Amino acid sequence: MTKKETKYIFVVGGVISGVGKGITSSSLGLILKNRGLNVTSIKIDPYINVDAGTMNPTEHGEVFVLKDGDETDQDMGNYERFLDINLTRLNYMTTGRVYKSVIEKERNLEYKGKCVEVVPHIPLEVIGRIKEAGKNASADVVVIEVGGTVGEYQNMLFLEAARMLKLENPKNTAFVMVSFLPTPQKIGEMKTKPTQNAVRTLNASGIQPDILIARASSSLDDKRKEKISLFCNVHPSNVISAPDVDSIYDIPINFEKEKLSEKLCEILNIKTKKADDKAWKKWKDFAKHAHNGKEVVKIAMIGKYFETGDFILSDSYLSVIEALKYSSYLQNRKPVMTWLNSTDFEKNPAKLKDLKKYDGIIIPGGFGSRGVEGNLSVIKFARENKIPYFGLCYGMQMIVIEYARNILGLKDANTKEVNPNSKNLVIDVMESQKEILKRNSYGGSMRLGEYKALLREGTIAKESYASSLQGRSLKDFKKGPAFVTERHRHRYEVNPSFIGDLEAKGLVFSGRSPDGHLMEIAELPKSKHPFFLGTQFHPEFLARPLSPHPLFTSFIKACINKKK
Ligand code: GLN
């Protein structure tokens, strides 16, 4: 492009939720990035919560933490992974966040005495945020995913913002609708009517989709394409068939088979060079792995946030799952994950021995006391039976509790979160947080976002990062102290007064905050256990398809070795 004109693509959903708007938005971003464009992505969540931090994962899925500590929606993780970019709080908004800032501005007299109205002031605030995010990223294209489904009361003001932005920038704004075409079992025919109705509803908001992504269990035939085209007013070549796939990483590839990036560039009048074949090949090679890997690694994931009624919802740990895939694919393996409920090990300890059939065990992040005793028994079992164990955040804190109880003999060792009356609070709040907590300001007491950790020589942690640096230069890493930067989301820390005793008995704190006060990684030396390591941070948030996370890679390697 010659003169910099930012382009905006809104992605909205029709018919039902859960048809992959997030992955569609991520894939659109990727195929445009691949044409040499600078792309950034925005997620709009229509709920009142100011961020996703206060929501239960079974309600909403994973809370994805950005480098600046913003607690956001799991789709932000998809954008970061597909586009290999780092987003900030400017890229995320909710109804609550938008209203909050309008109200704050009103209190600050920023509307200069005007009557502040829902329309236009709320949509204008939304537009302002979209533009700011674009500017901050020097983006050529901003992809904006509007959460929810058209026709919902909740996202109307965001659609109003989209309409107004189009009015202001007619040539630079495009609309993509991701719709669903059901094939009712008894009828056996793919139906277009719900999509027709969804487009009409969107039309009622003054918006006409330029592209229609037709999600369905199978590919669209020409007849269906023509029908949708005629009734929805979309050119047949802009009706894109998006059948179910085994791997989400094939979706950008499928989109390109339908020449989607070319079409978008045409609609938005973007002139680019041809697609970057080298980068594209890397992606295609990566995506192929999902179908290769005949051999599997069997991972047990122990958690509690995956039951919703009779269904299992693995969304709560989405980034962990993806991180496991990247590191497994790298070694030509396919991860097979089994979800085990931690409370089951409390009810029936005999189940522990079943864990032997897995190549590795993961305990991911979590909050509260439910399931903790079950987790502790799993960790003890993994330690004693030399099963590779990787603890993420709470899963690291529990390494410390288990070690204190069973090796140091501190029978009531615990975290303040579970038993504030324990005499041996090996996991505790730090002095500086106590005042904040007294004011009942829970949000303010969390350690969120990026912090540095200094790695200790001769440890699994240091070795892992040194052997696959995940984008960091080896030169920098070798020159001086080995620092890594990782994302955090937790309130409690390893209590400094127990560190001496724990280390004397063999637990190694191989990563610490630069001032040495906060423990970032705990591990057992390789001579004692093939892989027994936990991180206070969440490495899963920085695992990317083309640069898997070093610690996940080491864990998977240990799992493969166990198999042998
Ligand atoms: N509940 C623990 C804490 O707040 C761990 C949090 C987590 O696993 N994300 O410190």
Domain architecture of the chain: domains with CATH: 7-287 (3.40.50.300), 293-563 (3.40.50.880)
Q: What's the whole-number mean pLDDT along residues 213-223? A: 92
447 lines ligand 1 (CB under 6 A): no
Burial class for 456, CB neighbours closer than 10 Å (0-12, 13-18, 19+): middle
**Tokens coding 299:** 């991972």
- Ligand 1 centroid from CA 365, angstroms: 6
Separation CA 30–CA 26 (nearest Å): 6
Q: Is the CB of 537 under 6 A from ligand 1?
A: no
Mean pLDDT in residue range 56-64: 80
Count CB-CB contacts under 10 A for residue 353. Answer: 10
Q: Are strands 532-535 and 389-392 parallel, antiparallel or unpaired?
A: parallel
Residues forming beta bridges with residue 152, ordered by sequence position: none
To the nearest 10 degrees (0 to 180), the angle between helices 550-563 and 460-467 is 110
Question: Biggest alpha carbon distance in the chain?
Answer: 75
Q: Phi first, then psi: what are they for 78, rounded to 5°?
A: -60, -45
- Token pair of 542, please? 């920085």
Q: Alpha-carbon distance 508 to 520, whole Å?
A: 11
Instruction: Give residue 1's pLDDT.
Output: 45
Percent of the chain with pLDDT over 90: 79
Confidence (pLDDT) at 313 = 58
Residue 2 has pLDDT above 50, yes or no: no
pLDDT tens track for 351-397: 999 999 999 999 999 999 999 999 999 999 999 999 999 999 999 99
Q: Specify the pLDDT at position 314.
A: 65
Rounded to 5 degrees, φ, ψ at 381 are -65, -45
Task: Find, among 118, 212, 106, the residue nearest to 156 by Cα.
Answer: 118
Confidence of residue 334 (pLDDT cuts 50, 70, 90): very high
> Distance between CA 421 and CA 231 in Å, rounded?
66
Length of the chain: 564
Ligand 1 atom with the shortest distance to the CA of 492: 10
Contact 505, 403 (CB under 8 A): yes
- Ligand 1 centroid to Cα of residue 221, in Å, is 49
Q: pLDDT by residue (tens digit) across 425-484?
A: 999 998 776 766 666 555 567 899 999 999 999 999 999 998 766 555 555 556 566 889
224 sits in which H/E element:
helix 222-232
If phi > 0 it is left, if psi is from -120 to 50 it is alpha, else beta; for residue 393 that is left
Closest CA to 178 of 155, 152, 202, 161: 202
Give just the sign of the alpha carbon dihedral 414, 419, 425, 426.
positive
Residues 135 and 2: their CA atoms lie apart, in Å, by 17
Annotation marks residue 160 as catalytic? no
Strand arrangement of the beta sheet that strand 414-415 belongs to: 414-415, 425-428, 493-494
Question: Which of 398, 419, 491 gets mutated to test ligand 1 (max ligand atoms within 8 A of its CB)?
Answer: 491
Query: In the chain, what is the straight-line distance between the N-terminal and C-terminal CA atoms, in Å?
Result: 54
Residue 546: how many CA atoms within 13 Å on its side-chain side? 14
Active site residue 486: no
Beta bridge partner(s), residue 105:
none
Task: Check whether 308 has a pLDDT greater than 60.
Answer: no
Give the whole-angstrom CA distance, residue 337 versus residue 360.
10
> What is the 492 CA–ligand 1 centroid distance (Å)?
7
The number of angstroms, rounded, from the C-alpha of 137 to the middle of its chain's C-alpha atoms is: 20
Measured CA distances, 251 to 173, 297, 328, 383 (Å): 23, 25, 20, 40
Indicate if 62 belongs to the active site: no
Task: Please determine, for residue 563, whether its predicted confidence score (pLDDT) is greater than 90.
Answer: no
Of the ranges 182-186, 338-342, 464-468, 535-539, which is most confident? 535-539
| Beta strand segments in 68-206, E | 71-73, 92-94, 141-146, 173-180
The predicted pLDDT at position 54 comes to 81
Nearest CA to ligand 1 atom 6: 490
Ligand 1: residue whose CA is nearest its atom 9: 365
DSSP state letters, 12-70: EE-SSS-S-HHHHHHHHHHHHHTTT--EEEEEEE-SS-SSGGGS-HHHH--EEEPTT--
Residue having the nearest C-alpha atom to atom 5 of ligand 1: 394
CA of 498 to the centre of ligand 1 (A): 19
> How far is 455 from 459, CA to CA, in rounded Å?
8
Q: Of 56, 65, 316, 394, which is best to mutate to test ligand 1, by the most ligand atoms within 8 angstroms of its C-beta? A: 394
Does the beta carbon of 325 lie inside 6 Å of ligand 1? no
pTM of the model: 0.93
